């Protein structure tokens, strides 16, 4: 039996505002299965007139993520649709300029908006929150242009508050680590290819499975360099002689020539750091 928590008056007001935003609408939730979109899906299911979850499937996301999204929808009996997308067919995306996320979001939400029109829904929502506003997020510009609604931003809810609300509603996603597409592992201006994306996916899966890691990134740098980011408390797990030997062997099998560990540890959006230099 899980312990229920109390919400602060401030957070209760924000939650009430979010629920009011959903009521009387037929809502499509851009649904990754992560903590942000899962809470939106749950609240929409219980407050909107009708809810449809849409999850994108492509080389940018793992099959594991798709399965978790599907399981969540089934558990709460929410209609769920997968849409296939081919980001590598977009030359601007492949070039990987620093507005790559804008290009990707524009393509994804254009497909979602088509479903909205075909099925007569009247609101499309997604899970950006006010914590995201502190980082470089060109994808938010695409959302504004397409009139996609970001309820957390409208109600000034941050990432920590999303975790509190997820715990309050007893959602298993409350402790789920933040995720991002595999393209975010490749530094700007380095061409994105299927080979690079698969190398990153395989390397991250290996680290998670082998060392019981929850939050990590494997960044792909030119010359087939892997830069491993894990939580600072987890660095010790992967620097023992036995662990290093295991990682080197597997990463070279995957296709990396050089394997490095970032001593600063995991931090979301670390590839944006170069933009401020």
β-sheet bridge partners, residue 26: 50
Which string of DSSP letters, residue by residue, matches 142-179? HHHHTT-B-HHHHTT--HHHHHHHHHHTT-GGGGPPP-
Please tell me whether residues 44 and 151 are part of one structural domain.
yes
Q: How far is CA 222 from CA 1, 69, 100, 210, 257, in A?
A: 49, 32, 18, 26, 10
Please tell me whether residues 140 and 87 are part of one structural domain.
yes
Please tell me whether residues 28 and 163 are part of one structural domain.
yes
pLDDT digit string, tens, across residues 145-195 = 999 999 999 999 999 999 999 999 999 998 888 888 999 999 999 999 999
The verdict on residue 3 lying in a domain is no
Euclidean distance between CA atoms 185 and 248, whole angstroms: 19
Look at residues 175, 192, 213 and tell me which one is the last residue of a structural domain: 175
Euclidean distance between CA atoms 207 and 244, whole angstroms: 11
Nearest-Å Rg of the Cα atoms of the chain is: 19
Euclidean distance between CA atoms 44 and 38, whole angstroms: 10
Please tell me whether residues 68 and 24 are part of one structural domain.
yes
For the cut 60, the answer to whether the pLDDT of residue 2 exceeds it is: no
The verdict on residue 82 lying in a domain is yes
Chain-centre distance for alpha carbon 175: 14
Please tell me whether residues 258 and 126 are part of one structural domain.
no
Range of the domain at 206: 182-276
Please tell me whether residues 169 and 240 are part of one structural domain.
no
Q: What CATH number has the domain bearing residue 110?
A: 3.40.50.620
Euclidean distance between CA atoms 214 and 60, whole angstroms: 19
The verdict on residue 162 lying in a domain is yes
pLDDT digit string, tens, across residues 212-269 = 998 999 999 988 999 999 999 999 999 999 999 999 999 999 999 999 999 999 877 6
Please tell me whether residues 16 and 63 are part of one structural domain.
yes
Rounded to two decimals, the pTM is 0.91
Q: What CATH number has the domain bearing residue 204?
A: 3.30.300
The verdict on residue 147 lying in a domain is yes
Look at residues 175, 203, 228 and tell me which one is the last residue of a structural domain: 175
Look at residues 124, 155, 175 and tell me which one is the last residue of a structural domain: 175
């Amino acid at each position: 039996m899980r312990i229920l928590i109390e919400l602060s008056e401030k957070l209760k007001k924000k939650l009430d505002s979010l629920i009011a935003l959903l009521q009387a609408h037929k809502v499509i939730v851009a649904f990754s299965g992560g903590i942000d979109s899962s809470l939106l899906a749950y609240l929409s299911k219980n407050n909107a007139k009708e809810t449809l979850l849409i999850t994108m499937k492509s080389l940018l996301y793992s099959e594991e993520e798709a399965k978790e999204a599907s399981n969540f929808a089934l558990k709460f009996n929410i209609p769920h649709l997968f849409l296939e997308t081919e980001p590598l067919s977009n030359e601007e995306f492949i070039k990987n300029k620093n507005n790559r996320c804008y290009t990707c979001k524009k393509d994804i939400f254009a497909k979602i908006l088509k479903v909205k029109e075909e099925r007569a829904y009247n609101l499309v929502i997604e899970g950006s929150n006010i914590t995201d506003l502190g980082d470089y997020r060109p994808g938010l510009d695409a959302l504004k242009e397409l009139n996609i609604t970001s309820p957390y931003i409208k109600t000034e809810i941050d990432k920590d508050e999303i975790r509190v609300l997820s715990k309050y509603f007893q959602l298993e996603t409350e402790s789920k680590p933040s995720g991002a597409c595999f393209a975010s592992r490749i530094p700007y201006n380095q061409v994105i290819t299927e080979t690079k994306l698969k190398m990153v996916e395989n390397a991250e899966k290996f680290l998670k499975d082998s060392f019981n890691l929850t939050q990590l990134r494997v960044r792909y740098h030119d010359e087939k360099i892997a830069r491993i980011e894990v939580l600072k408390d987890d660095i010790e797990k992967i620097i023992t002689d036995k662990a290093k030997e295991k990682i080197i062997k597997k990463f070279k099998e995957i296709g990396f020539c050089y394997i490095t560990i970032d001593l600063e540890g995991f931090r979301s959006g670390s590839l944006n750091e170069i933009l401020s230099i």
